[in-house]
A = this chain, B = another copy of it.
Amino acid sequence: MSDSRIPVAVLGATGSVGQRFVQLLAGHPWFRIAEVVASDRSTGKSYRDATDWRVDASMPDGTAGLKLKDYGDELDSPVAFSALPGDVAGEIEQRLAKAGHAVLSNSSTHRMDPDVPLIIAEVNPGHAKAIERQKSNRGWSGYIVTNGNCSAIHLVITLKPLQDAFGLESVVVTTLQAVSGAGYPGVPSLDMIDNVVPYIGTEEEKLAEEARKFLGTYDGEFHMGDFVVSATCTRVPVRDGHTEAASVKLRTPATPAEVIKVFQSFRGRPQELGLPSAPKRPIVVRSELNRPQPALDRDTERGMASVVGRVRECPIMGIKYVLLGHNTIRGAAGASILNAELFKEEGLLPL
């Protein structure tokens, strides 16, 4: 029986986010993994033999037998999901885009490039228009699209309906981030048993800058959103699921009830189009006083929702709330896949 699904490649497939791509794409209705690519230490081995599979008990059978390709190899798949480490992503992603591939990337390397869109499918699907300029600027037949830092994605999903309804002026946010975002081996256990680390390198800057690009406009060039984010990013002993305490100053003041209402009614293009990976509700509001909690709420809507709780008045900023989201699903691999689904429906994939 022939498989008419679109063949895709996963770059950096053996790593933490790469494994999440492989897990989420298993049984995907539109895409099938045809190629897995890793650094040359693994080339020629099967995915099964090269990978210390850690996202659940056992890797999907379909991918396990694939031979790993090298970063330098040509690829046949029109679509490449990139989970490459930042230090190699730049050159490899550019080469593939030049060669005609749609590269949907988790790497931070190109996120802030002036002709590379940084997209959350529900938030700024229109930024995809920048692809045309990118291709002509660079003389590429393919393109790079990025999907943002894990903490930024969930914060921005909650800021988007606030921006639309009330306007945004400023956001003070403290994150309590899970360790899975740092990959494996990643954060040492001596840092995470009976401890908190109040610093994650470059994370605060990414959160602040990416939020303004996501929530900015594109009219041939990107204009940053007209608001300020001040972040403190900490690491806590949690496997998956970033928690964020946000205080937000809106341009038009709003009550907690009004804020909850815009959270609950928020929908975007993925919901309109009924994309396979789209959560029914991009934002799920919990009414319990002590929620959201990572152990209980990170898998809401198969890890694709941002979960909000404790919406209340902030005597300084106006509104404050706690948000939580799965960092390697909606905050990474799942975000790329949702972007790819959106692009397919919008006719933007190079098929």
The answer to whether A172 touches B317, judged by C-beta atoms less than 8 angstroms apart, is: yes
The answer to whether B310 touches A199, judged by C-beta atoms less than 8 angstroms apart, is: yes
Q: A172-B316, A316-B172, A317-B230 are in contact. Are A192 and B194 (CB under 8 A)?
A: no
The answer to whether A193 touches B243, judged by C-beta atoms less than 8 angstroms apart, is: no
Q: Mark A260-294, 1 if CB is under 8 A from B, else 0.
A: 00000000000000000000000000000111111
From A188, A190, A317, name the one whose CB has the most chain B CB atoms within 10 angstroms. Answer: A190
The answer to whether B320 touches A230, judged by C-beta atoms less than 8 angstroms apart, is: yes
**Chain B residues, Cβ within 8 Å of A297:** 57
The answer to whether B196 touches A314, judged by C-beta atoms less than 8 angstroms apart, is: no
Please tell me which stretch of A93-101, A126-134, A234-242 contacts chain B, meaning at least 4 of its Cβ atoms lie within 8 angstroms of it. A234-242
Q: How many residues of A contact B (CB 8 A)?
A: 62
- A255 within 8 Å of B by Cβ? no
**Chain B residues, Cβ within 8 Å of A252:** none
**Chain B residues, Cβ within 8 Å of A174:** 174, 232, 245
**Chain B residues, Cβ within 8 Å of A185:** 185, 188, 190
Task: Tell me, rounded to whole Å, the shortest Cβ–Cβ distance linking A298 to chain B.
Answer: 8
Of chain B, the residue at the smallest CB distance from A201 is B289
A299 vs B188: C-alpha distance when bound (angstroms): 22
A317 vs B229: C-alpha distance when bound (angstroms): 11
- A228 within 8 Å of B by Cβ? yes
Q: Residues of A with Cβ closer than 8 Å to B?
A: 54, 56-58, 170-172, 174, 176, 179-180, 184-199, 201, 208, 228-230, 232, 234, 236-239, 243, 245, 247, 249, 289-297, 299-300, 307, 309-310, 314-317, 320, 322
